[in-house]
Structure formats: C-alpha cells, structure tokens
Amino acid sequence: MTSAPRADLPPADVLAIAAHRDDVEQTCGGTLLRMAARGLRTAILDLTQGEAGTRGSAEERGREASEAARLLGVVWRQALDMPDGAIENSLENRIKIVRVLRQLRPRVVILPYWQARHPDHATASILGSEACFLSGLAKVSTDTPPHRPFKIVYASLYADVRPSFIVDITPFIEQRHLALMAYHSQYSNQASGSGLFVPEDEIRERTLAEARHYGLLAGVRFGEPFVQKEVGLVDDLTLLPVQSI
C-alpha cells in the first residue's frame, strides 16, 4: 500500500491528497469506500510523514496508515517527505506531486479545503491545485507523460462553508470509523496530548454526529461534504436528487 508509483501501475480513478496521515480518514474516508464499492480504483497521497505530531512517531503512523488504507480499500498509498508542520508551496514540492499525478493519472483529485486552522492543510490545498495544473504542461519534464485531472473537489468537513454536494456514506460509516481508529497512536487514551485530543470514547460520537449533520442536509443518514469551484451541469431536471420541500 505504501510503495512508490511504478510505470506499469494501472491508473487510479480517484486520488485523495492530504497533508497528514489520518486527514483523509477524517474528511473523505467514506467517499473513498463508496467509490471502491463502485469498482473504482482509489489512492491516497500524504504529503508528510507525521514526524512533528504531538503523539506517535512517523514510523508508527506509517504502519497505521497502511492498515487504514487496507480498511479503506485503496489500491495505493504513499507519504512524501515534506516537513510536517512546514509544508511550502514551492516548485520542488509541486513537482513531487506532479510525478505522482502523471503515474497514477487520476480523473478526480480530492484536496483539503483551502481555508483551515492548520497551515499545512491550507498550503496542501493550494499546492495540490497548482500541481494538478502543472502536471498537464508538456514542457514540464518528468519520466512520464503529462496528465491533468479532469476534476478537483475539496473535502470541506471542517470548513464553515455550504457544501456544493454531499456524498452518501451511510453504508460505509462503520468501516470509515474503523479506518480512523487504526491510528492507535493518535486516538487511544494517553497522557501525551490529553488536553488537545478528544477522549477515545467521544471520537465515535463526534465523528458520527458530523456525518449525520451533513447527511441530513442531503436527505440521507450519513454524508461527507465537498466544495467545487466551478458551476455544475445538469442534463435532466427530473433526475435532480434531494427533495426540496
């Protein structure tokens, strides 16, 4: 799950890019499960290895990320070497992401929402978006041909913003929770960081409450929210989902 991309690796349909191991599990893990259940190939690119976290080590989080990837059904996962807590939007870092984009060739990329409390999350959003553009430029040379994803969507679970759409994750809510709880170093009760982290017995209640809130907005039980920057397109008004009244 954590090997580097290979030239012969089949394309991924959906690639989720996040700053830290466990960000994807929190914000779009249910969506990745739903896409995998539809037969789509899903992948995760973590930009850092988690070495600056209050809890756990990079090695522990690497093992936990592999288990979470298995639970999410992704076909590939890798962590880059950008410094945890100090991600920069530099050309060097954009090229690192470009290499992954050109090898996995996703149609859809999921990024963090561009406004966030943690600077790494906000930077990862801009960095990922600019890398998606750069990846399509033929004169930017790498070992693989240019590729520009068709769609970028932003996981907005923790953003105070109205979603563009909700993904129904109701059938996958338990598996999503299991994937998050694979990070024992982060979410098990312990003295380190006890003032910063939610107690273990509250995590399930809080994460399900958030998913329930967004599900209610779309008329389903549990959901994950996303924002898209472009206008949507509708072919048939009679097939629009979500009842108005």
CATH of 14-229, one of 3.10.20.30, 3.90.550.10, 3.40.1180.10, 3.40.50.10320: 3.40.50.10320
Specify the pLDDT at position 194. 53
C-alpha 190/C-alpha 199 separation (Å) is 9
CB 24 within 8 A of CB 32: yes
pLDDT tens series, the chain, 245 aa = 444 445 566 689 999 999 999 999 999 999 999 999 999 999 999 999 988 676 768 888 899 999 999 999 999 999 999 999 999 999 999 999 999 999 999 999 999 999 999 999 999 999 999 999 999 999 999 999 999 999 999 999 999 999 999 999 999 999 999 999 999 887 765 655 556 667 778 899 999 999 999 999 999 999 999 999 999 999 999 999 999 98
The domains of the chain are located at 14-229
Amino acid at 173: I
Q: What are phi and psi for residue 129, nearest 5 degrees?
A: -65, -45
- Output Rg (C-alpha) for the chain, integer angstroms: 18
C-alpha 223/C-alpha 242 separation (Å) is 13
CB 143 within 8 A of CB 9: no
Specify the pLDDT at position 95. 97
Contacts of 38 (CB under 8 A, 6+ apart): none
Assessment of whether the complete model's pTM goes beyond 0.85 = yes
